[in-house]
Structure 1
Amino acid sequence: MKKIKVGIIGGAGYTAGELIRLLINHPETVIDFVFSTSNAGNKISKVHQDLVGDMDLKFTNTVNPEVDVLFLCLGHGNSVKFLENHTFSEQTRIIDLGNDFRLKSDKVFQGKSFVYGLPELQKEAIKSAQYIANPGCFATAIQLALLPLAEKGLLNNDVHINAVTGATGAGTSLSATTHYTWRDNNFSYYKPFMHQHLGEINQSVKLLQNTFSSEILFMPNRGNFSRGIFATMYTDFEGTLEEAKAIFKDFYKDAKFTFISDDDLHLKQVVNTNKCFIHLHKHNNKLLITSIIDNLLKGASGQAVQNMNLMFGLEETTGLRLKATYF
């Protein structure tokens, strides 16, 4: 079988670095180019230094419009600008890791429609799609925790969410809250109740439960660790814990990377993997749902490769059987 020829745009960031690591070890892909205007001419391994000895490819400021698949690893709002200024073949499939095309109001671009790429929600649509809007990291962890209840029409009250992300969630650019001396031994919230991922979360919930009219109250936090998302949320649930577990296990019975755990969770179970683990706990009439993912993999680059596998008819787990960084 001819290997899938890949182009990557915005190659110097954390998500692009993870994507490169996955694709150079993927048995069905070959990286054709990695685009970065700020690093053009430099070896990729000079920026992503763990790749020394793995690849000699250099960053470029030109593109090959005939690649089979294009990954956009650009800052939010920049994918539209890039595609307006660069043309690719009619056969090129595009996977955008930013938020430019995730909402229904933004999904149509130059006459073509982006499919929202959460495999556990839209696997069949992803298989036949040409353009994919990869979900956000917080959005992935939270949706995977809520969608089984939405499918049963059981989200009839407000959902309260507290979630913590690692420092890599802020990207590579320095700011007042990403310097080591600020982040170390520190903890803070940001964008309370107003995080940009709420739009896609509400959109997916309403896709399965169109009567949903309650609030999703989301408090995002910055954690003192490099990678991962630990999300807890609770809402009213009148059934038993066993009934809740049955709903979740049935919803994910065919999922390749989402698993329901009977044991309490901790973040190292999923760091460096494309997995999502979910744990359920019942207290009086409240159902507590814990969801954990690696924000750079299941929350970004790993999910993008999962979507690529589906689009090209590959086994969904190809290139994604990764070992957790457990110790």
Structure 2
Amino acid sequence: MKATVLGAAGYVGGELLRLALGHPELDVVQATSRRHAGRPVGLVHPHLRHHAGLLFTEPDTLEPVDVLFSALPRGELARVHDRITSAARTVVDLGPDFRDPEGPGGAHYVTGLPELYRSALAGATRISVPGCMATAAAVAIRPLAAAGLTRDDAVVDARTGSSGAGAEPSPATHHPERQHAMRIYKATGHRHEREIARLCGVRARMTVTAVPLVRGVQVVAHLRPPRPVARAEVWSAFRDAYADEPFVRLVAHRSGLHRLPDPQFLCGGNFVDLGFDVDDDGLRVVVVAALDNLVKGAAGGAVQSLNVAQGFEERTGLEFPGLHPV
């Protein structure tokens, strides 16, 4: 399949290029960037220097392709949507423009989260990948909500690394301000709350903290079951939901150094690690989910969704497991 990456100069765009260039079914023919047009992609993404023949191109003239991945900022894809869809048979959007099925154009897009929407993704030609923190929270909460093991609101405490803010610097992402920060930048009313509620069927109350990492998201969800529950019942709910999922790993050990999910071991990988614990009285379940925000939370989720939509083996191009130590 011929592929274009739109908005290829950003961090997510770089991950899309890395994954697509290593995918046996994809042939990247265009990587767009207005600012870097004419320059080799390796000058912006140094880990791709060995692809010396691939140059950034202007986004105004798009080649006809089989699939177009869009890593454009909020509002940009919606503005040029008609032109994009005329150039590509399949569009995979990693931005927020079409995530809401009740929003403009959103009804035409399938949610790009195979763990929850695999059947809907089969044959899909319009795919919208959820936000990275929403992905982690949805994987953590939905099985328990579906099993009736939570009531009231889900309290979601999310931590995110600096790459989630994108490649364009700002005062908040300036290194002297960000290096050692644990900055709570959205204590209430985060925009992902509505997205998590739609994906999980329960209301989410979310707080987001910027932590001193480059990559990584960790979500800690506090759930109140309607009755006392045991660990075995929670294990069963997660196993029923994810036993056959290639990119969900259950990590909930009672001893050892790495007892619950930690995003540091997921850098570059498409896995989401999922763990939990239960209060002694069985009246609170704490679920922990971790992922690489640029891969499973963005580019990897997009490639995984395309694999499902096209009938490719789901792991294709996504086998890298992450690193330890980092």
TM-score, normalised by the number of residues in structure 1:
0.92
How far off is 1:193 after superposition?
2.0
Which among 115, 136, 145 is matched to residue 150 of structure 1?
A: 145
| Structure 1 residue aligned with 2:210 | 222
1:176-229 CA distance string (max 9 Å, x none): 1101111111210112222222221111122xxxxx4xx411001101010001
Which among 297, 300, 310 is matched to residue 299 of structure 1?
A: 297
Would you say the 8 A contact 1:96–1:132 is kept in 2? yes
SS of 1:231's partner is strand
SS of 2:186's partner is coil
What is the distance in 2 between the residues matched to 1:176 and 1:325? 31
| Structure 2 residue aligned with 1:276 | 272
How far off is 1:269 after superposition?
2.5
SS of 2:219's partner is strand
Which among 21, 27, 32 is matched to residue 29 of structure 2?
A: 32
Aligned CA distance change for structure 1 residues 87 and 274 (closer, same or farther; 3 Å): closer
CA RMSD of aligned residues (A): 1.5
The alignment status of 1:252 with 2:236, answered yes or no, reads: no
What is the distance in 2 between the residues matched to 1:182 and 1:45? 28
- Name which of structure 1's ranges 216-225 and 56-65 shifts more when overlaid on structure 2: 56-65
Amino acid in structure 2 at the alignment position of 1:304: A
How far off is 1:70 after superposition?
0.4
The alignment status of 1:162 with 2:157, answered yes or no, reads: yes
What is the distance in 2 between the residues matched to 1:323 and 1:259? 11
| Structure 2 residue aligned with 1:21 | 18
Aligned CA distance change for structure 1 residues 269 and 185 (closer, same or farther; 3 Å): same
1:79-133 CA distance string (max 9 Å, x none): 10121454525x6100000011111212636xx7111111111101111211001
Gaps of 5+ in 2: 254-258
SS of 1:106's partner is coil
| Structure 2 residue aligned with 1:46 | 43
Amino acid in structure 2 at the alignment position of 1:242: A
| Structure 2 residue aligned with 1:267 | 263
| Structure 1 residue aligned with 2:181 | 186
Would you say the 8 A contact 2:30–2:63 is kept in 1? no
| Structure 2 residue aligned with 1:70 | 68
| Structure 2 residue aligned with 1:209 | none
| Structure 2 residue aligned with 1:59 | 56
Amino acid in structure 2 at the alignment position of 1:272: G
Which among 100, 104, 107 is matched to residue 101 of structure 2?
A: 104
What is the distance in 2 between the residues matched to 1:314 and 1:227? 28
SS of 1:88's partner is helix
Which among 309, 316, 319 is matched to residue 318 of structure 1?
A: 316
What is the distance in 2 between the residues matched to 1:179 and 1:217? 28
Aligned CA distance change for structure 1 residues 319 and 87 (closer, same or farther; 3 Å): closer
Amino acid in structure 2 at the alignment position of 1:160: V
What is the distance in 2 between the residues matched to 1:194 and 1:255? 31
The alignment status of 1:132 with 2:127, answered yes or no, reads: yes
| Structure 1 residue aligned with 2:256 | none
| Structure 2 residue aligned with 1:81 | 79
Would you say the 8 A contact 1:134–1:304 is kept in 2? yes
How far off is 1:309 after superposition?
0.7
1:128-147 CA distance string (max 9 Å, x none): 21100111000000000001
What is the distance in 2 between the residues matched to 1:84 and 1:202? 30
What is the distance in 2 between the residues matched to 1:46 and 1:88? 30
SS of 1:279's partner is strand
| Structure 1 residue aligned with 2:230 | 240
What is the distance in 2 between the residues matched to 1:86 and 1:319? 25
Aligned CA distance change for structure 1 residues 107 and 270 (closer, same or farther; 3 Å): farther
What is the distance in 2 between the residues matched to 1:86 and 1:104? 19
| Structure 2 residue aligned with 1:10 | 7
Would you say the 8 A contact 2:194–2:204 is kept in 1? no
How far off is 1:175 after superposition?
0.8
How far off is 1:66 after superposition?
2.0
Amino acid in structure 2 at the alignment position of 1:113: H
- Name which of structure 1's ranges 14-23 and 147-156 shifts more when overlaid on structure 2: 147-156
- Name which of structure 1's ranges 56-65 and 271-280 shifts more when overlaid on structure 2: 56-65
